[in-house]
Amino acid sequence: MTILLLAEHDNQSLKPDTGKALSAALAMGSNVDVLVAGAGCQAVAAAAAELMGVSKVLVADDATYGHQLPENLSKLIVDIAADYSHIVASASSVAKDCLPRVAALLDVAQVSEIVAVIDPETFVRPIYAGNALATVKSLDDTRVITVRASAFEQAAGGNNADVVALTQVIAPMSEWVSQALTESSRPELASAGIVVSGGRGVGSRENFALLEQLADKLGAALGASRAAVDAGYVPNDLQVGQTGKIVAPSLYIAVGISGAIQHLAGMKDSKVIVAINKDADAPIFQVADYGLTADLFEAIPELINLI
Amino acid sequence: MKILVPIKRVVDSNVKVRVMSDGSGVDASHLKMAINPFCEIAVEQAVRLKEAGVATEVVVVTVGGKPSQEQIRSAMALGADRGIQVEADDSLLPIDIAKCLAAVQQQEQAQLIILGKQSIDGDNNQTGQMLAALLDLPQACFASDVSISDNQLSVTREIDGGLQSLTMALPAIVTADLRLNEPRYAKLPDIMKAKRKPLDVLTLESIGVTLKSHQHLVSVSAPAVRQAGVMVSSVAELVEKLKHEAKVI
């Protein structure tokens, strides 16, 4: 059984989640090829070839794949799918967009956001916003799977796999117009070791500066609840939860967040959870390892001073 | 133009579900059910496009058991013109649902299909993409803004790290993200009117869909419960515990 792993990248660098999805793929079988599809993505292919456990790296380097639009990417993957028993990717926005399309073209079901591999056909995945874990056995010949990266360890480096170029080019179906990415010097939310998150209780966009100071002091990523995003305090790609990012850092600090089930779905697998809230009855305290009932405007500056 | 909006009946998003003790699934038998929140946003978007004069008809469709007709009625109370129920088991996988929807689209020939990005029960986030693949149509998933002019669809999508804008020719498929719009509440007169709107019931045989077995649900279990935490009385104590007890900073 050979496994195809779709690399997650921005044409310049390979995202760490690819290494975590690789660990999941290696639990399904020992033979893993990585597909790097993009434009001007040779550096990404070189980085993928260094990951321990990769047999070979396939590179589809063409303007058609530059923005990894699902119409083109799915046809490329289906073209080479016959060689593979599993098609795997970390559950990034690109993979969530593309892999179901691949599955439907192959007439198979997809298993989304697995958190454990039981055997090459059986996987565990959360359902109902993480309130239940389903163990499912795939009966399809080709298994299309997305991986919740936060549930797996990063694969080691030091490999030197072959890099092979693919030449198929697919006619585009939709047109990319523009992209507006949030600029940030902080670590990426999904892979950060520490996350500082703010909710409605923070009160305003200006007040979020206080959390940014704390995040910078800790070298942490900044996150937010849906309430904070909807109120316009922060951009929506910082949202942690069922509909936003799923994170599992070693330390998650929730400030002014009540702890609705949709938010907990995105962070309850964090190693240590700290909650700072002035409402002693907030549900967040039920999952927090350390809770502090306090006004955040007094507690956060003091916290910044003490660490 | 016609807009087709597939919707799903799910456990209300505010209800915390319980895993059945025999591990066979989640006990949803006595829980409050509702339209999946993302589907509600899809219905709202379709109705707004109709109000703006872009669309002429909004058709909602669901694949599921008879009780899901309630959710079709709710969608019609929000402004959809008619409904279709494809009579099927409630436990169908997204690939099966997508096949049923593709068959309905062959009959309806809608110019635009708007779905929710995921249902909050299965959390799969697959059906819209699969439907697009089966129909060989372009897709715009996780949409936070949609506009249509000259048979061209322009969509802003929520992606990791920010926003992306795409244009594509119709017919096309859009899946709605949370921030696409704020769904309206149904008014009592509209709820009464919705009872008289047409609702067709189709069967898998009548739309020519045969399903195959893709997955076996081995078991459903409750996630591990977190150890109870401690309340600290001061910031100093918190920092002390994080440094020396949890050793995370």
Q: What ipTM goes with this model? A: 0.95
Tell me what the mean pLDDT of segment B2-13 comes to.
97
Tell me what the mean pLDDT of segment A61-82 comes to.
94
Q: What is the pLDDT of residue A1?
A: 84
Task: Please answer whether residues B71 and B43 qualify as being in contact, where contact means their C-beta atoms are separated by less than 8 angstroms.
Answer: no
Q: What is the pLDDT of residues B104-130, one digit of tens each?
A: 999 999 999 999 999 999 999 999 999
Bond preceding residue B198 cis, omega within 30 of 0: no
Which residues are paired to B5 by β-bridges? B60
Q: What is the pLDDT of residue A9?
A: 97
Task: Please answer whether residues A103 and B130 qualify as being in contact, where contact means their C-beta atoms are separated by less than 8 angstroms.
Answer: yes
Q: Which residue is it, tokens 């520490």?
A: A194
Task: Please answer whether residues B166 and B27 qualify as being in contact, where contact means their C-beta atoms are separated by less than 8 angstroms.
Answer: no
Q: What is the pLDDT of residue A167?
A: 81
- Smallest CA–CA distance, residue B59 to chain A, in Å, is 24
Chain A residues whose beta carbon lies within 8 Å of the beta carbon of residue B248? 194, 250-251, 271-272
Q: Which of A39, A46, A78 is nearest to A61 (CA)?
A: A39
CA–CA separation, B20 and B26 (whole Å): 5
Q: Is the pLDDT of residue B225 over 90?
A: no
Residue B125 contacts by C-beta under 8 Å, 6 or more apart in sequence? A96, A100, A112, B117, B118
Cα separations (Å) of A20 from A24, A152, A157, B111?
7, 5, 12, 40
* A41-50, A144-153, B225-234: least confident range: B225-234
Q: Is the pLDDT of residue A172 over 80?
A: no
Q: What is the pLDDT of residue A184?
A: 82
pLDDT band with cut points at 50, 70 and 90 for residue A243: confident
Q: Is the pLDDT of residue B29 over 90?
A: no
CA–CA separation, A218 and A221 (whole Å): 9
Q: Is the pLDDT of residue A247 over 80?
A: yes
Tell me what the mean pLDDT of segment A151-179 comes to.
88
Q: Which residue is it, tokens 């109902």?
A: A128
Cα separations (Å) of A138 from A86, A88, A142, B136?
11, 14, 9, 25
DSSP strand pairing (A122-127 vs A116-119): antiparallel
CA–CA separation, B111 and B47 (whole Å): 14
Residue B192 contacts by C-beta under 8 Å, 6 or more apart in sequence? none
Q: Least CA distance to A244: which residue of chain B?
A: B160
* A183-192, B133-142, B206-215: least confident range: A183-192
Q: What is the pLDDT of residue A92?
A: 95
Q: What is the pLDDT of residues B42-96, one digit of tens each?
A: 999 999 999 999 999 999 999 999 999 999 999 999 999 999 999 999 999 999 9
- Smallest CA–CA distance, residue A95 to chain B, in Å, is 11
Chain A residues whose beta carbon lies within 8 Å of the beta carbon of residue B179? 229-230, 236
Q: Which candidate from A101, A127, A139 shows the least CB-CB separation from B123?
A: A127
Q: What is the pLDDT of residue B109?
A: 98
CB contact under 8 A, B11 and A128: yes
CA–CA separation, B92 and A256 (whole Å): 39
Chain B residues whose beta carbon lies within 8 Å of the beta carbon of residue A131? 16-17, 19, 26, 222-223
**Could you give the residue ranges of the DSSP H alpha helices within B52-139?**
69-77, 94-108, 127-135
E strand intervals along chain B: 2-6, 9-11, 18-19, 26-27, 33-35, 57-64, 82-87, 112-116, 139-149, 152-159, 162-169, 172-176, 199-203, 215-221, 230-232
Q: Least CA distance to A280: which residue of chain B?
A: B231
Which residues are paired to B11 by β-bridges? B33
Helix (H, G, I), strand (E, B) or coil at B219: strand
Helix (H, G, I), strand (E, B) or coil at B239: helix
Of residues A243 and A197, more confidence is placed in A197
Q: Is the pLDDT of residue B236 over 90?
A: yes
Please compute, for residue B144, the number of CA atoms within 13 A of its CA located in the half-sphere on the CB side: 15
pLDDT band with cut points at 50, 70 and 90 for residue A192: very high
CA–CA separation, B45 and B168 (whole Å): 18
Task: Please answer whether residues B140 and B168 qualify as being in contact, where contact means their C-beta atoms are separated by less than 8 angstroms.
Answer: yes
Query: Judged by CB atoms within 8 Å, which residues 201-240 of B form the interface with A?
Result: 213-223, 226-227, 229-236, 238-239
In chain B, the percentage of residues whose pLDDT exceeds 70 is 100
Q: Is the pLDDT of residue A173 over 90?
A: no
- Smallest CA–CA distance, residue B18 to chain A, in Å, is 8
Cα separations (Å) of B185 from B58, B67, B78?
17, 21, 7
Q: Which residue is it, tokens 């939310």?
A: A189
Of residues A167 and B178, more confidence is placed in B178
Q: Is the pLDDT of residue B40 over 80?
A: yes
CA–CA separation, A255 and A276 (whole Å): 5
- Smallest CA–CA distance, residue A237 to chain B, in Å, is 6
Chain B residues whose beta carbon lies within 8 Å of the beta carbon of residue A175? 166-168
Tell me what the mean pLDDT of segment A232-240 comes to.
94
Tell me what the mean pLDDT of segment B225-247 comes to.
92
